[in-house]
Amino acid sequence: MKRIYFIIISLMVSLIFCACGSSKPEQNTETETATVQEKSNDHLYDGRTVVGISMPDRILERWNRDGAFLKEQFENSGCEVILKYSDNLIDKQITGLEEMIEKGADLLVVAAVDGSALSGTLETAHENGVKVIAYDRLLMDTDAVDYYVSFDNYKVGYLQASYIVSSLGLKTSEQPKYIEFVTGDPVDNNARFFYNGAMDTLKPYVDSGKLVVASGQTGFYETSTAQWSSDIAQQRIQIILNSYYPDGARLDAVLCANDSTALGVKRALETDYTGKNNVVLTGQDADIANIYNILDHTQSMTVFKALDQEAVVTEVLAKSVLSGTTPGEDLIKEADWDFTCTYNTTDYNNGVKVVPSYLLRPVAVTYDNLEKELFDTGYYARNSSGLIYSVKSDTPDQSVDDD
């Protein structure tokens, strides 16, 4: 009798283990089993699904929030989470990912420092049966990426450019208006999408002479900003202001691809712009410093991206992938979220394959709709001293696996 109980219990334990670690490779050769057992990992056999989250940096507000939201989502669904930041260093990101694989990760969620630099590491992940979701930024030049979760990145650029078209009155204006471009980090695939969305909208005005770029710098690389750095954006615009806009010459707008570049451009305008007008500045992310600038009218708009939604979609997708299914459009229908998410199988080609993508909707935020979009929705609030804070992820996550 005891023996029968033992067999039944053994069977149940193996079934539970299979269900929890469903994405683990079947170690059906002696070599594979040996390799896995040699690993000094704490997680592989503890029965919980392990999710490795690799973020680019902690300098930008947003990645702190992404990390916190993702960790919360995955922990709430019973997963063990390894969260690592990479200080914008490719090598640090690779080492971090290798450690996650080593520690028995079932799935990696990766926002790459450099989208093209991780192919080798991701291939190792896939060889070990580890699933890979590209988070916010597409993972390039590799087959070893299963899905992509992001926002409609082309639309971000479109929203920024459309704001410029309407605020400068380009459709009706007779006078030429002056603009400069500050785009993103060229190793981030998103930067090209933002640029294309903006340029497709503004180019007709540049071509017709309604918009003039005095520096002549309109190409993606010449307008790009390494590491999305505020300082680099500031220095470049200072040079442009001194060279092309001397003695009160008018500049009407600077298209900034995100909020960190907008901060740098704002500083450059404060020190080196001699014109008298308020220069239109765009941005992206709705970082707190930039919200203050919008309220002060020193930045004109930003594009808000609900990062908690991005984390929710990632977790639901991960769960589906780990259960062994191949999610598609159906994932959205079944989830029945109260926000818009579209399934895209055409636009995100990483050079090796078109990666199936789940895309969320970015929202343009200006002085006029800021209260409604950012405060009434509960993302931000003011404390008793009137200081703005993020409600949904107040402080950067403290429990990061950092070394």
Site string for ligand BGC, 255-294 (x = CB under 6 A): ---x-------------------------xx---------
Strand (E) positions, 56-186? 80-85, 107-110, 131-135, 147-151, 177-182
Q: d(Cα 401, Cα 71) in Å, to the nearest integer? A: 12
In Å, what is the CA distance from 133 to each residue of 60, 106, 221, 310, 324? 21, 11, 27, 12, 14
Q: Is position 223 an interface residue for ligand BGC (rule: CB under 6 A)?
A: no
228 binds ligand BGC (CB under 6 A): yes
373 contributes a contact to ligand BGC by CB under 6 A: no
Dihedral sign, Cα of residue 178, residue 184, residue 186, residue 188: negative
- Residue 66 or 252: which CB sits closer to ligand BGC? 66
Q: Please give the size of the binding site for ligand BGC, defined by CB under 6 A.
A: 10
Count, residues in the chain: 403
Q: How far is the CB of 194 from ligand BGC (least distance, A)?
A: 8
Residue 60 or 170 having the CB closest to ligand BGC:
60
Spatial separation of the C-alpha atoms in residues 213 and 398, rounded to whole Å: 45
Binder to ligand BGC among 146, 180, 188, 397 (CB under 6 A)?
A: 188
Q: Which is nearer to ligand BGC, 79 or 237 (CB)?
A: 237
Nearest residue to ligand BGC, scored by beta-carbon proximity: 258
Q: Provide DSSP, 72-90.
A: HHHHHTT-EEEEEE-TT-H
Q: 137: left (phi > 0), else alpha (psi -120 to 50), else beta?
A: beta
Out of 190, 224, 282, 357, the only residue in the binding site for ligand BGC (CB under 6 A) is 190
Distances (CA, A) of 165 to 152, 159, 335: 20, 10, 37
**Which letter does DSSP use for residue 373 in this model?**
I
- Answer for which of 66, 80, 106, 136 binds ligand BGC (CB under 6 A) is 136
Q: Does residue number 177 form part of the binding site for ligand BGC (CB under 6 A)? A: no
Closest by CA to 156, choosing from 118, 113, 188, is 188
- The smaller minimum CB distance to ligand BGC, of residues 150 and 320, is found at 150
By beta-carbon proximity to ligand BGC, the closer residue of 154 and 178 is: 154
Shorter beta-carbon distance to ligand BGC: residue 180 or 285: 285
Kindly state the smallest distance separating residue 403's Cβ from ligand BGC, in Å. Answer: 23
290/320 with CB nearer ligand BGC? 290
Angstrom CA distances, 286 to 145, 215, 230, 340, 398, stand at: 29, 28, 15, 19, 22
Q: Cβ closer to ligand BGC: 49 or 224?
A: 224
Shortest gap between Cβ of 321 and ligand BGC (angstroms)?
A: 22
The minimum distance between CB 334 and ligand BGC, in angstroms, equals 27
Which residues, numbered 37-96, are part of the site for ligand BGC (CB under 6 A)?
60, 62
182-208 burial code (b ≥16 CB/10 A, e <16)? bbbbbbbbbbbbbbebbbebbeebeee
Cα separation of 259 and 236, whole Å? Answer: 16
Cα–Cα nearest to 277, from 296, 257, 253: 253
Can you give the binding site for ligand BGC, defined by CB under 6 A? 60, 62, 136-137, 188, 190, 228, 258, 284-285
